Amino acid sequence: MEDRIKTQHPQGKQGVNIEKNKYEQVKEAILEVLDGKSLTHKELTDEVSELLRGSFDGSIAWYTETVKLDLEARRLIERDTSLSPARYRISVVA
């Protein structure tokens, strides 16, 4: 049986159980594409898709959204809503 992780949601909604290896693969990709920059939702999804294309089994867009929400809930990334459209970046530790 695969190791699984229960994701969190920044608004306290129910998370989902996903395979830990897929979670880690998408998490690493998200953090890599956000390193030193901020991206819109579309840019983030597009860049993660480009990075994982051909090496990921499953819907890259769905996993990107699921893991992105989890990383927001864990405060590893943040959504800047002062901009339009909102942009995502790695959280600034105070």
With respect to residue 4, please indicate whether it lies within any of the assigned structural domains. no
With respect to residue 6, please indicate whether it lies within any of the assigned structural domains. no
How far is the C-alpha of 74 from the C-alpha of 13, rounded, in Å?
13
pLDDT class of 14 with cuts at 50, 70, 90: very high
Structurally, the chain folds into a number of domains equal to 1
Q: What is the pLDDT of residue 49?
A: 97
Mean pLDDT for 34-52 is 97
Give the range of the structural domain holding residue 45, as residue numbers without chain letter. 18-90
With respect to residue 79, please indicate whether it lies within any of the assigned structural domains. yes
Q: What is the pLDDT of residue 93?
A: 66
pTM over 0.85: yes
How far is the C-alpha of 30 from the C-alpha of 32, rounded, in Å?
5
Mean pLDDT for 29-50 is 97
CATH number, domain of 78, equals 1.10.10.10
With respect to residue 13, please indicate whether it lies within any of the assigned structural domains. no
Mean pLDDT for 35-59 is 96
With respect to residue 9, please indicate whether it lies within any of the assigned structural domains. no
